Chain A
Amino acid sequence: MKIAVLTKAIPSYESSIRIDSSSTWIDESVVNFVVNESDSYALEEALQIKEKLDNGSEVVVVTMGSQDNTSKVLKDGLAKGADRAIFIQNEDSNTDPLSISKLFSQNLKDENFDLIFSGLQSDDLGSGQTGVLIGELLGMSTATLGIETDIQDGEIKIKRELESGWFQWVTLPFPASVSIQSGINEPRYPSLKGIMGAKRKELKVVDGQLSDSPKQNFINLFVPKTEKATEKIEGDVDGIVAKLMDILKNKLRVIS
C-alpha cells in the first residue's frame, strides 16, 4: 500500500494575522507556521494503517508552499514516521483550489498512490476542496470527512461524518482520495529517534509552476465588520466579575 498524506503549513492559532501592503495576503514575517490541524490527524491515520498492515507499505508526506514556511511541516512528518517527503515549491500562496490541485496531480500522477489522505480543510483559506479535486483529476474514488477507516481487500471503508451528529459508511475501491476529519485518532509526537532519523530520509523537491491562469481572482483581504454593537469588558479581574454579575442579574436576568 502506497499512501500519500497532503499536509499544509498554516499560521498557528496564536499568530497575529495582519494584512500586508498588497492587501491580497497576510504579513508572513510575524506569523508562526505550523501543521494544519486536520492534516496531522490524516498523517496519523496513514501511519496507523501502515503499522497495522505490516507489509512494507509506504507513507509519503507531500506539501506545497514556500521553503521557509513548509520545512518544519516536512521535518515533522518524517520525524513522526513518514518514509519520504515530496515538496512542491510554489511561492504563490494565494491561488484557487483547482489550480493548486492541478499542480499536485501533475506531480503525484507517476507515483500511482493507492490512497491519498488529506485534512478536511486548511485553517487558512479553508476551501475544503483539494483532496476531492485531486481525486477527480487522478481518476480516484473520493470521500470526505472520514472519522474512521477500515482497510479491506482492494477497498477502503470510511465512516463519513454528516451534519448534526449523523454518520454514513461508504466503501471505495482503490485508488481513493479521502479527506480526514479531526478527532479520528490521537496524533503521535515525534520520538527523539524519529527526529534524528528524519535527516536521512528522502526529500524530493520539485518546482511547481502554475501552467494555467487562475480560475478565481483574489481581489483583496479585509477585516470583517462587527455585526453587533459589542460591549468590551476588560481590566482587572474583580472589575470584570462585578460587571458580568451586573449583566447576568440586571440586563439578561438569567440569575436572580
Chain B
Amino acid sequence: MILVVLENQRGNIHAFSKEAVAAGQNLGSKLGMDVSILCMGENASSLKEQANDYKSQNLILAEHDMVNTYSADGYSKVLSDVITDLSPKYVIMGHSYMVRDFLPRVSAKLDIPFVSDIISVTYDGGNPIFSRQVFNAKLATNIQPDSNSNTTLLSFQSAAFSSDNIELGGSDAASVFEVNLNMEDIKSSSEPEFQESASGVDLTTADVIVSVGRGIESQDNIPMVESLAKAMGAEIASSRPVVDMGWLPSYRQVGSSGQAVSPNLYFSVGISGAIQHVVGMKGSKNIIAINKDEEAPIFEIADYAVIGDLMEIVPKLTEELQK
C-alpha cells in the first residue's frame, strides 16, 4: 500500500500535495499497490472534503486538538503512529518546507529511509529507483532504498509529477484514525504565519524578467544589470545569494523561498541554476542564460545558452538596445 499525505496551505491542499497524489497513483499503478490518502493535522477535515474526488482505496482522517496548528513534534508523532498501524510500503509527500521540517523526525523515530527531493522514478523489474539532483544540479544520482525496510518515506520536487494527471473517481472507503497525543509529546509552540510588508512589486505578472545571480560579483555591478532591465522594459529579479548579500531587496528574489514566475522571457545573468532557484522560474516560456561556466545547470533548462563573460556582454547589449 502507498500512503499519500496531504498538507494544508492556508486553507487549501498544498499544490505540492496534489502532485504527490499524482505521484502516488502513478507509483501505485506501476507497482500494483493500492493508494490511500491521509488528511492530518491543521484543517484536516476540509482537506478531506477537497480530496473527496481523488481516486483512492481509503481516505483517512487524523484530527486532534493538539495538532490543529502545525508542530514538528505533533505531526511527526501522529504520522509515525499511522505508519506503525498501517505499514504502507511508501509514504509520499511534496518536498515542501513543512515536509523538510518534520518528515526526517519520522525517519529517525521509525528507523526507516527518507529519500527527499526526488525528480523522477524509473523501475528495475518491480523495484523503483529514485533520482535526485546533487552537486547543485550539476549531477543526479539514482537511489534504491533498503529493501528490508517495511516503509520508505519519499518527497517529490515540485513539478516532478503534474496534478493534471490526478485520477478521479473518489475513494472506496473513508476511515478515521484515532490520534493519541499527550501534553509531553509537544514541546514546541508556534505563532500564526505572516508575510513581510508587501513591496508593490509583483514579479509574477512581468512579461520580461532580467534576473541576476552571484556571477555579478559585487554590488557595484548591480546598476549595470538594472540598465539592461530598463533597456528591455523588464523587471529586475535575482537568485538567493544576491539577496543574502543585501545587493537587492528580498521581494526581488525568485525561487523556492521567493516568488515563482513564468514570464514570456526570463533573461538570467550570472545565475548557476541551483535547484532552489530553478523551481521558481522553470515555467518561463523562453529562457536566455548568460554564464561563463559551460557546465552551469541553468543551461539545461535554457533555450539559449550564452557562454561568456557577463561583464563584457551586458554593457554592450544594453548599448545596442538603447540605440
Once the chains bind, are B244 and A237 in contact (CB under 8 Å)? no
Whether a CB of chain A sits under 8 angstroms from the CB of B84 is no
Once the chains bind, are B191 and A216 in contact (CB under 8 Å)? no
A207-246 interface bits toward B, Cβ cutoff 8 Å, 1 = contact, 0 = none: 0000001111111111110111111111101101100110
Whether a CB of chain A sits under 8 angstroms from the CB of B169 is no
A248 to chain B: which residues have CB within 8 Å? 232, 265, 321
Interface residues of A, CB < 8 Å — how many? 80
Considering only CB atoms, which chain B residue lies closest to A127 in the complex? B116
Whether a CB of chain A sits under 8 angstroms from the CB of B167 is no
Once the chains bind, are A168 and B116 in contact (CB under 8 Å)? no
Given A215-B113, A254-B265, does the pair A237, B312 have CB atoms closer than 8 Å? Answer: yes
Given A96-B113, A170-B189, A234-B307, does the pair A145, B108 have CB atoms closer than 8 Å? Answer: no
Once the chains bind, are B104 and A97 in contact (CB under 8 Å)? yes
Whether a CB of chain A sits under 8 angstroms from the CB of B30 is no
Once the chains bind, are A182 and B191 in contact (CB under 8 Å)? no
Contact stretch, chosen from B19-27, B50-58, B142-150, B170-178 = B142-150
Considering only CB atoms, which chain B residue lies closest to A131 in the complex? B104
A111-147 interface bits toward B, Cβ cutoff 8 Å, 1 = contact, 0 = none: 0000000001001111111001101110001111100
Given A101-B108, A136-B104, does the pair A166, B142 have CB atoms closer than 8 Å? Answer: no
Closest beta carbon of chain B to A189's beta carbon, Å: 14
Q: Which of B53-88 contact A (CB under 8 A)?
A: 71-73, 76
Closest beta carbon of chain A to B56's beta carbon, Å: 26
Q: Which of B258-274 contact A (CB under 8 A)?
A: 258-260, 264-265, 272, 274
Question: Once the chains are docked, how many angstroms separate the CA of A163 from the CA of B14?
Answer: 11
Whether a CB of chain B sits under 8 angstroms from the CB of A11 is yes
Whether a CB of chain A sits under 8 angstroms from the CB of B18 is no
Question: Once the chains are docked, how many angstroms separate the CA of A154 from the CA of B299?
Answer: 49
Whether a CB of chain B sits under 8 angstroms from the CB of A30 is no
Question: Once the chains are docked, how many angstroms separate the CA of A19 from the CA of B141?
Answer: 11
Given A165-B195, A166-B193, A224-B300, does the pair A247, B288 have CB atoms closer than 8 Å? Answer: yes
Question: Once the chains are docked, how many angstroms separate the CA of A101 from the CA of B105?
Answer: 11
Contact stretch, chosen from B32-40, B41-49, B131-139 = B131-139
Considering only CB atoms, which chain B residue lies closest to A126 in the complex? B134
Given A171-B189, A222-B140, A245-B320, does the pair A233, B301 have CB atoms closer than 8 Å? Answer: no
A144 to chain B: which residues have CB within 8 Å? 97, 100-101
Question: Once the chains are docked, how many angstroms separate the CA of A130 from the CA of B214?
Answer: 27
Among candidates A19, A123, A141, A166, residue contacting B139 with C-beta atoms closer than 8 Å: A19
Considering only CB atoms, which chain A residue lies closest to B314 in the complex? A241
Closest beta carbon of chain A to B144's beta carbon, Å: 5
Given A129-B104, A136-B108, A215-B146, does the pair A226, B308 have CB atoms closer than 8 Å? Answer: no
A133 to chain B: which residues have CB within 8 Å? 104-105, 107-108
Once the chains bind, are B100 and A221 in contact (CB under 8 Å)? no
Question: Once the chains are docked, how many angstroms separate the CA of A162 from the CA of B42?
Answer: 16
Among candidates A11, A125, A167, A224, residue contacting B194 with C-beta atoms closer than 8 Å: A167
Whether a CB of chain B sits under 8 angstroms from the CB of A181 is yes
Among candidates B133, B194, B295, residue contacting A126 with C-beta atoms closer than 8 Å: B133
A76-107 interface bits toward B, Cβ cutoff 8 Å, 1 = contact, 0 = none: 00000000000000000000111001000000
Once the chains bind, are A141 and B187 in contact (CB under 8 Å)? yes
B272 to chain A: which residues have CB within 8 Å? 13
Whether a CB of chain B sits under 8 angstroms from the CB of A164 is yes
Once the chains bind, are B111 and A226 in contact (CB under 8 Å)? no
Question: Once the chains are docked, how many angstroms separate the CA of A244 from the CA of B72?
Answer: 49
A235 to chain B: which residues have CB within 8 Å? 308
Once the chains bind, are B114 and A98 in contact (CB under 8 Å)? yes
Whether a CB of chain A sits under 8 angstroms from the CB of B182 is no
Whether a CB of chain B sits under 8 angstroms from the CB of A252 is yes
Once the chains bind, are B140 and A221 in contact (CB under 8 Å)? yes
Among candidates B145, B188, B260, residue contacting A172 with C-beta atoms closer than 8 Å: B188
Q: Which 3 A-B pairs have the closest CB atoms?
A: A183-B244, A136-B108, A215-B113
A interface vs B, CB < 8 Å? 11, 13-14, 16-17, 19, 26, 37, 96-98, 101, 120, 123-129, 132-133, 135-137, 141-145, 160-173, 181-183, 213-224, 226-235, 237-238, 240-241, 244-245, 247-248, 252, 254-255
**Apart from A11-B135, A252-B264, what are 15 other A-B pairs with CB-CB below 8 Å?**
A26-B139, A97-B116, A129-B116, A166-B194, A170-B71, A183-B244, A215-B112, A216-B146, A217-B144, A222-B139, A222-B141, A223-B139, A224-B300, A230-B300, A248-B265
- Interchain Cβ contacts under 8 Å between A and B, 12 examples: A98-B108, A132-B100, A136-B109, A168-B192, A169-B190, A173-B187, A173-B188, A181-B257, A215-B112, A219-B144, A238-B316, A240-B308
